[in-house]
Amino acid sequence: MQSNIQNTKQQDMKNEMNALIMEAMKNHDSVRTETLRAIKSAFLNWQTSKENAGKELTDADEIQIIKKMVKQRQESVEQYIAAGRQELADAEKAQIDVLETFLPKAASEEDILRAFRQAKEANGWEAEKKNMGLFVKAIKAALPNADGKMVAQVVQSQLA
């Protein structure tokens, strides 16, 4: 029974991605088409890898894969700019824009600060450097869409 549910969900995801690709092709949007194909390929690579054999691709896994793709393209943008290849950097930025439409809205600095205060009150922790790990862990649990670097910066700014 579980296998049938898993296969149905994976088939739905595959059908949805194919429909998005077809729509982008009909609209002659080559950047979106290329990016959607890359997403589909990354999902397929994840599903067929040895370490994930038999596992279901969850929403969290999908988000993690897309975040990784964004990070790779951001690194490429930096390299292209350093090499004086602005047209290639612009192409990567366009793909980043498409990828980010599939990611949940990232937590803002205010959201992180609010989560910090809530963790401090709820757990009675002192705002000291020795508790930084506790605060970061609590904030990441409360705001899974928060950028790790931003969480660390906000927490560090609040500690004595």
Burial of 133 (0-12, 13-18, 19+ CB in 10 A): exposed
Structure-token match 């949007």, residue found: 29
Show the tokens assigned to 55: 């596992």
Residue 62: pLDDT band with limits 50, 70, 90:
confident
Q: Which of 27-31, 77-81, 84-88, 139-143 has the lowest mean pLDDT?
A: 139-143
Show the tokens assigned to 42: 């990354």
**CA distance to 7, 27, 36, 71, 148, per residue, from 31 (Å):** 30, 11, 9, 17, 29
Residues 135 and 63: their CA atoms lie apart, in Å, by 23
Convert the pLDDT of each residue in 91-137 to its tens digit. 999 999 999 998 888 788 888 888 888 888 888 888 788 888 888 88
Convert the pLDDT of each residue in 75-87 to its tens digit. 999 999 999 999 9
pTM, full prediction: 0.68
The closest of 56, 50, 63 to 105, measured between CA atoms, is 63
- pLDDT value of residue 84: 95
| 7/133: higher pLDDT | 133
Residues 12 and 21: their CA atoms lie apart, in Å, by 14
Average pLDDT, integer, range 51-79: 87
Instruction: Measure CA of the first residue to CA of the last residue in the chain; give whole Å.
Output: 54
Show the tokens assigned to 96: 């980043």
Burial of 67 (0-12, 13-18, 19+ CB in 10 A): middle
Per-residue pLDDT for 11 more than 70? no
Per-residue pLDDT for 4 more than 70? no
Burial profile 70-85: b = 16 or more Cβ within 10 angstroms, e = fewer: beebeebbeebeeeee
